[in-house]
Structure 1
Amino acid sequence: MLVNQTSKLQTKLKKAVNKQQKVGLVPTMGALHSGHLALIGEAQKICEQVVVSIFVNPTQFNNASDLEKYPRNLEQDLAQIQSSYPNVIVFAPEVSEIYGKNVAAEEFDFGSITTFMEGEYRAGHFNGVGTIIKRLFNLVKPDFAFFGEKDFQQLRVIQKLVEITEQPVKVVGCATQREVNGLAKSSRNQRLTEEQKEKAAIIYQALETAKNKFNQSSIAEIKTEIKGIFEAYPEFELEYFEIADVKHLVPTETKQTNTPYRAFIAAFVNEVRLIDNIALNY
């Protein structure tokens, strides 16, 4: 069921509220793949009514070219959803429906979790993410919202957003869906050739290397090894590789006991930027 206007969306949702149904939200930017469908499946396990938003949010792009090239195919997205989840409400608004005439991000204080990694390399990105998710929460008023762990830093931002805005939403993190070769499923993968997709397996292989060596090697040694992996593939540009504690997301060079860590990576394949992460010790 496709809805483009917020007024019609809220009319549909009022029926669910009147029936005391749990409402789940799966925010997406379209170009759907099986990872998105897995999120919808998780939502349907605990929610009687699921809303999937399809909206390429302009305020979270710090690169105009990246926004322009972001894959869009609403018709194909709808077909995927309706074939597997026919009772889902698909909310696909125009930019003006969300922002009116003022297409600008709000400012949020997310603390250290947005200082490094994506926050460092994509200025303003998380303010844009916070803005659109806050607005979607206000429109849908979901009981649960579902996000993939591939964007783990974003997941932490959404959790912090709920804390800041005191919204009664339970944020559910879902496991990263991967290709057979380990490459994290992403809408941006549509911009890769088949050969590039195969070679991009080195991103996950690098994370697996970090995980396997985490207990016996220093973080400096791990970073050196990861850098060496990418030096063997000149068509790839390693933007960053960091190991950070899960709570604060501050990169570290030393390991503390009883502290969960994740490894985070971003790399370019030609002009396509891919990110991924992995839990190291929990």
Structure 2
Amino acid sequence: MRTVREISELRQILTESRERGQIIGLVPTMGNLHDGHLALVGAARDRADIVVATIFINPMQFGPGEDLDTYPRTFEADREALETAGCDLVFAPSAESLYPRGLASHTKVVVRGVSEGLCGASRPGHFDGVATVVSMLFNLVQPDLACFGEKDYQQLTVIRRLVTDLHMPIDIVGVPTVRATDGLALSSRNGYLNEPERRQAPFLYHTLVEARTALEAGADMTATLDTARQQLAEAGFKAEYLELRQADNLEPVQSGTTHGVLLAAAHLGPARLIDNLAVRLPGDQGD
């Protein structure tokens, strides 16, 4: 496995791969890897001849007061894990190489609609940063496919809309959420939890499972969501949102909607946890 930090070297290597007719798969990450990230590498490995993973903690997607400075940096361990998982090339650029004129002067990519609300409401500018850095990586790597986790469902939806709107010839592969045995969705930020909080954290997932069961059985949407929010509050979570949306575009469900997604974000101690579950609705939810 090769490690590359310079854009010129990355382009040279991948130009040679394309000339050989090889399919290129991309897995963008911010490092501090866990089994969820490695599942993305596995999904790319199954579909591509060359798997490129990126490790870049993107400053543009962190807002004021967020954990940019304290976000875990574990490059050597990440590199070893990627090599074991079957990655062929790691691209680990500096912020200066991607943003040579600084963040304030850099062109931004804004994906309207799906980036608004939910996480976009509590983290203004976050998805602009995600869309911008992903657009740059797509331009630099020019992959045939790119793998993203379904745990970050709104992010996945933003990226799919980005690729569609800008007519990028890239297949976006959504990879199912990887969970611990107790149901907690794996996340780099789970490391912020202390032991009691870690034992409590799976309650978010189990609350969503209970709500999904009720909704699929035809329970009233408003009452079900209110109950779920109350359960989280009583368990010590500070919920930012718990919503039911249309699965394809994240708009509010309407009468006749059958494919929904339950999405939640909640703080537990210092950690901000997000999770989601697909919901098969009877078709009579919404207004």
Scaled to the shorter chain, the TM-score interval is over 0.9
Q: Does 1:103 align with 2:72?
A: no
C-alpha displacement at 1:237, in angstroms? 1.0
Aligned to 1:228: 230
Q: Is the CA contact (8 Å cut-off) linking 1:52 and 1:91 kept in structure 2?
A: yes
1:60-79 → structure 2 map (5 Å cutoff): 60-79=61-80
Distance 1:109 1:258 in 2: 27
How far, CA to CA, are the matches of 2:235 and 2:107 in structure 1?
Answer: 39
Write the mapping of 1:32-181 to structure 2, written as runs, cut at 5 A: 32-85=33-86, 87-104=87-104, 106-181=107-182
- Partner Cα distance (1:226, 1:258) in 2: 21
Consecutive unaligned residues in structure 2, runs of 5 or more: 282-287
Gap runs ≥5 in structure 1: none
- How far apart in 2 are the matches of 1:112 and 1:4? 34
Judge which range, 173-182 or 94-103, deviates more: 94-103
Letter of the aligned partner of 1:233 in structure 2?
A
Change in 2 beyond 3 A, CA 1:224/1:64: closer
Q: Could you list the per-position Cα deviations for residues 147-195 of structure 1 after superposition, in whole angstroms to 9, with x for gaps in the alignment?
A: 0000111111101111222211111111000011111001111222233
Q: 1:271: Cα distance to partner?
A: 2.0
State the aligned residue count: 278
Query: Hey, what's the Cα distance between the residues in 2 that align with 1:207 and 1:75?
Result: 36
Alpha-carbon contact 1:106-1:128 (below 8 Å) kept: no
1:276 deviates by: 0.8
State the Cα deviation string for residues 104-132 of structure 1 (Å, max 9, x = none): 46444533212210111110111101100
Tell me if the contact between 1:210 and 1:280 (Cα under 8 Å) persists in the aligned partners.
Answer: no
Q: Alpha-carbon deviation of 1:250?
A: 2.3
Q: Is the 8 A contact 2:193 2:269 kept in 1?
A: no
RMSD (Å), alpha carbons:
1.5
Please list the CA deviations of residues 71-92 of structure 1 after superposition, one character each: whole Å capped at 9, or x if unmatched.
Answer: 111011011112232x520111
What's 2:265 paired with? 266
Conservation of the 8 A alpha-carbon contact between 1:106 and 1:127: no
- CA distance, structure 2, for counterparts of residue 180 and residue 264 of structure 1: 20
Question: Matched residues in 1 for 2:196 and 2:90: separation?
Answer: 33
Q: TM-score, normalised by structure 2?
A: 0.92
| Residue identity matched to 2:264 | I
Residue identity opposite 1:154 in structure 2 = Q
Structure 1 residue 259 displacement after superposition: 3.2
Partner SS, residue 263 of structure 1? strand
SS at match of 2:93: coil
CA distance in 2, matches of 1:125, 1:72: 20
Give the Cα separation in 1 of the matches to 2:119 and 2:205.
18
- Matches of 2:77 and 2:196, distance apart in 1: 24
Distance 2:73 2:252 in 1: 34
In the TM superposition, residue 265 of structure 1 has moved relative to its aligned partner by: 0.3
